[in-house]
Structure 1
Amino acid sequence: MSNQHKNRTTVDIYGQQYVIVGLESTSHVRLIASLVDDKMREIGSRNPSLDISKLAVLTAVNAVNDYIKMKDQLERLQAELIREKD
C-alpha cells in the first residue's frame, strides 16, 4: 500500500461539481478542471445544440489530439538532441 496521501478536491466543470481523488495537489487538480471547463465552454459556444455527453466526448477528443501533437513534438526534439550529441 502506498504511503502517499490522496487528496480530495471538489471542482466545478461546466456547471457540475465533481470530487477528484488523487495524489496531485489541490491546485493542480483545480488548474486541470479549469482548463477542461474552458475547453468545454469554448466548444459549447460554437456548437450550442450539443448535449453534455457529446460535448464531453468532443472535449476529450480535442484534449487527446493536443496530447498526441505535444508527445510527437517532444519525441522529435528528443531525437534532435540525441543526434546533436553524437
Structure 2
Amino acid sequence: MSKDKIRYKATIAGKEYTIIGARSVKHLQVVEKTLDGQLQQIEKLTKGLDPERRAVLAAVNAVSDQIEMQIKMQSMEEEIELLKQQLDTVQQNELNEQ
C-alpha cells in the first residue's frame, strides 16, 4: 500500500467497511454519510426490498449522477473553449485597431 493511501472505517447501512484510498478523511466521511442516507431513503421508499437490491439502486443512482455531471462538465468545457476563442478574436481586433 502506497504511503499516500489511508484506511478509513465506515459504517454504511449498519455494517462496517474499511475503505482504502487516497482521499481525505473528511471526503470519506461525506461519502459515508451521503451513501448511508441514500440507502436509508431507498429503504423507506422500497419496503421489502433486500439489501443487495437497495445497494444496486444506490449504485444506479450514483452512476446516473456521475454521467449527468460528465455531460455538464463537457458542455462547460466546450463553452469555455468558445469563450476563449471569442476573447482571442476581440484581442486580435483590438490589436489590429491600434
TM-score, scaled relative to structure 1: 0.90
Give the letter for the 2:27 counterpart.
H
Name the structure 2 match of 1:9: 8
Higher Cα radius of gyration: 2
Q: Which has the higher helix share?
A: 2
Give the drift of 1:23: 1.5
Whole-Å Cα distance in 2 between the matches of residues 71 and 6 of structure 1?
26
Give the letter for the 1:37 counterpart.
D
Secondary structure, aligned partner of 1:49: coil
Of the two structures, which has the highest relative contact order with CA contacts closer than 8 Å and spacing of 6 or more?
1
Give the drift of 1:31: 1.0
Name the structure 1 match of 2:20: 21
Percent identity over the alignment? Answer: 33
Whole-Å Cα distance in 2 between the matches of residues 73 and 28 of structure 1?
22
Whole-Å Cα distance in 2 between the matches of residues 49 and 58 of structure 1?
14
Whole-Å Cα distance in 2 between the matches of residues 79 and 15 of structure 1?
43
State whether structure 2 residue 64 is matched by structure 1 residue 69.
Answer: no
Aligned alpha-carbon RMSD (Å): 1.4
Q: What is the total number of aligned residue pairs between the two structures?
A: 85
Whole-Å Cα distance in 1 between the matches of residues 70 and 10 of structure 2?
27
TM-score, scaled relative to structure 2: 0.80
Which stretches of structure 1, 4 residues or more, deviate above 3 A after TM superposition?
none
Give the letter for the 1:73 counterpart.
K
Q: Deviations over 1:33-78 (max 9, x none)?
A: 1111111111111001110000000000000000100110010011
Structure 1 alignment gaps of length 5 or more: none
